[in-house]
Amino acid sequence: MKTSDFYYDLPQELIAQEPLKDRSSSRLLVLHRDSGEIEHKIFRDVKDYLKKGDCLVINDTKVMPARLIGARKNTGARVEILLLVRKDMDTWEVLTYPGKKAKPGDVIVFGDGRLEAEILEVIEGGNRIVKFRYDGVFETILDELGEMPLPPYITHKLEDKNRYQTVYAVHEGSAAAPTAGLHFTKELLEEIKEMGVEIAHVTLHVGLGTFRPVKVEDVTNHEMHSEYYVVEQAEADKINNARKNGGRIISVGTTSTRTLESVTDENGVVHAGSGWTKIFIYPGYKFKAVDCLITNFHLPESTLIMLVAAMVGREKILETYETAVREKYRFFSFGDAMFIV
């Protein structure tokens, strides 16, 4: 299976640069797996495809304003830092730009000296380990000085930071949003609950690897990035009970899907727990937990389009994407949604 098998042509103008004013008024392409039929709807119509007893699984991670722009203390040269993984209270693994110039011992200053980062070491792959110095609470300073780490294909400045968060974001730790969830409003979730649909929360802190292109020719040789997940017992119980009572498990996004498939055994039982997952889902994978998927439209040749193809087949997904391009759906993080039922 080649990476190029997952390529499709996407006109640049279909890449959504800004979120819509109303989250739930995005378009929704509904793909029926059994018949192959496609319907064109609005996202709030998602309710018409849910029924009492189903379980909707959402990822409640929160994106950190993880992009910091500062200057080297000794030269004043501009340096950008992207927070990746917290090692302890004040020590982080980061990405620096420009990369090669940031050497151990260098100090980078942010916000007129309110925050300083000393580079401790360069690790494998070129990332840096830095130690921050500051007065006060790190999260508060980060909130004031940091910017949202928007994907590289979004070139417009985001006016409202909250639009790159889901309305149910709670646990801070992601470098990217679980974008399928951006379409839900609190009102829509309330209406879904009132229908008798169970809503279960999982947490997966999305890493920047989600934007990393697949560089190998053979898909099976691709090395997935690690991401940290948490599934509480009460949430696992909701999912298992829905399954036991004949309900469908509907995953909101590829991140919820990776979490569920990482904690579900061969009998379809979801186990509570936390840890790191490197699960890579591509055609040929047998889903253990997820019956239906709500997701956005993904980059060509990405691990995300491969995951979606695993659910419906490569040819069918490329055919569906062709339809979406023809119908001028908006693509990627701030784009429209797709519901595989």
Same domain for 41 and 80? no
Nearest alpha-carbon partner for 222 in 263, 276, 278, 275: 278
Same domain for 209 and 164? yes
pLDDT of residue 272: 98
Same domain for 56 and 71? no
Same domain for 279 and 204? yes
Give the domain CATH number at 280: 3.40.1780.10
Instruction: Say if residues 58 and 250 touch (Cβ distance below 8 Å).
Output: no
Q: Is residue 135 part of a domain?
A: yes
The whole-number average pLDDT for the span 49-62 is: 98
Instruction: Say if residues 204 and 228 touch (Cβ distance below 8 Å).
Output: yes
Same domain for 203 and 314? yes
pLDDT of residue 119: 96
Instruction: Say if residues 43 and 337 touch (Cβ distance below 8 Å).
Output: yes
The whole-number average pLDDT for the span 125-146 is: 93
Instruction: Say if residues 130 and 81 touch (Cβ distance below 8 Å).
Output: yes
Percent of the chain with pLDDT over 90: 84
Q: What is the pLDDT of residues 59-87, one digit of tens each?
A: 999 999 999 999 999 899 999 999 988 89
The whole-number average pLDDT for the span 186-199 is: 98
What's the structural domain count of the chain?
A: 2
Q: What does the buried/exposed string (b/e) look like for 284-312 if buried means 16 or more CB atoms within 10 Å of the residue's CB? A: eeebbbbbbbbbbbbbbbbbbbbbbbbbb
- What range defines the domain where residue 49 resides? 3-63+160-340
The whole-number average pLDDT for the span 24-50 is: 97
pLDDT of residue 225: 85
Same domain for 184 and 268? yes
Same domain for 117 and 186? no
**Residue 177, both tokens:** 């949003």
Same domain for 179 and 239? yes
Q: Is the pLDDT of residue 208 over 80?
A: no
Q: Is residue 129 part of a domain?
A: yes
Nearest alpha-carbon partner for 7 in 341, 321, 310: 321
Q: Around Cβ 52, how many Cβ atoms within 10 Å?
A: 9
When the pLDDT of each residue in the chain is averaged and rounded to a whole number, the result is 95
- Measured CA to CA in angstroms, residue 98 lies from 11, 40, 93, 95, 218 at distances of 30, 44, 16, 9, 31
Q: Is the pLDDT of residue 26 over 80?
A: yes
Same domain for 190 and 78? no
Same domain for 205 and 284? yes
Same domain for 40 and 17? yes
Q: Kindly give the pairing relationship between strand 292-296 and strand 273-277.
A: unpaired
In DSSP terms, which residues pair with 116 in a beta bridge? 109, 133
- Measured CA to CA in angstroms, residue 122 lies from 91, 106, 129, 207, 300 at distances of 13, 12, 6, 19, 32
pLDDT of residue 152: 81
Give the domain CATH number at 115: 2.40.10.240
